[in-house]
């Protein structure tokens, strides 16, 4: 074997061993679902959020996990409520009307990031009942809220929303115009 071939073989072998080791370490770090559910009851906000992130990543279809997350929509800590809504949306959880209303409370926040998290959560849920809470956001003073409202209405709505979106085709920001046009296009197909 030439030196080049030997060197390539050794480098490949080292990379393979490294990748295997990293994969094994990652697999060993996955916490059992029951442990994560128990962590949701922690008084430590960061621990609860961390548990939700791990549940989203490692147990995205777990009915038991989704059931444990739902009460957090009413948690007294705003960041926990936001994260619970987002994770349930990502999990496409089956939620009740009361839970949709809890998520819609995020849309009333003065904080635009909270509003956007609420909109993103609703996109992953069967939350057509939230449309009446979303449409006023098309007139929000923040263009990013407007853009996310367009995207959410495109997912949840139907053709009847097109008249609400049309004025945004003249909005001074091109990104808002594009999101409105995209939403209209999607809704025309429904």
For residue 21, pLDDT over 60 is answered with no
- Tens-digit pLDDT profile for residues 100-154: 999 999 999 999 999 999 999 999 999 999 999 999 999 999 999 999 999 999 9
DSSP 24-75: HHHHHHPPPHHHHHHHTT-S-HHHHHHHHHHHHHH-TT-HHHHHHHGGGGG-
Sort residue 92 into left (φ over 0), alpha (ψ -120 to 50) or beta: left
For residue 186, pLDDT over 90 is answered with yes
- Tens-digit pLDDT profile for residues 40-84: 999 999 999 999 999 999 999 999 999 999 999 999 999 999 999
Count other Cβ atoms within 10 Å, centred on residue 57.
11
The values of phi and psi at residue 77, to 5°, are -95, 115
């Amino acid at each position: 074997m030439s030196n080049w071939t030997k060197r390539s073989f050794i480098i490949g072998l080292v990379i393979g061993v490294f990748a295997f080791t990293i994969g094994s370490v990652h697999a060993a770090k996955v916490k059992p679902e029951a442990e994560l559910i128990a962590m949701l009851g922690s008084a430590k906000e960061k621990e609860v959020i961390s548990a939700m992130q791990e549940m989203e990543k490692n147990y995205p279809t777990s009915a038991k996990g989704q059931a444990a997350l739902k009460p957090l929509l009413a948690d007294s800590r705003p960041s926990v409520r936001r994260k619970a809504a987002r994770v349930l949306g990502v999990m496409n959880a089956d939620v009740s009307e009361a839970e949709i209303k809890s998520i819609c409370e995020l849309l009333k926040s003065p904080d635009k990031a909270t509003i956007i998290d609420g909109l993103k959560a609703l996109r992953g849920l069967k939350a057509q009942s939230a449309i009446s809470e979303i449409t006023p956001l098309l007139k929000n003073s923040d263009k990013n809220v407007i853009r996310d409202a367009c995207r959410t209405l495109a997912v949840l709505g139907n053709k009847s929303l097109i008249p609400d979106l049309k004025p945004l085709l003249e909005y001074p920001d091109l990104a808002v115009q594009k999101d409105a046009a995209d939403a209209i296009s999607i809704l025309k197909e429904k």
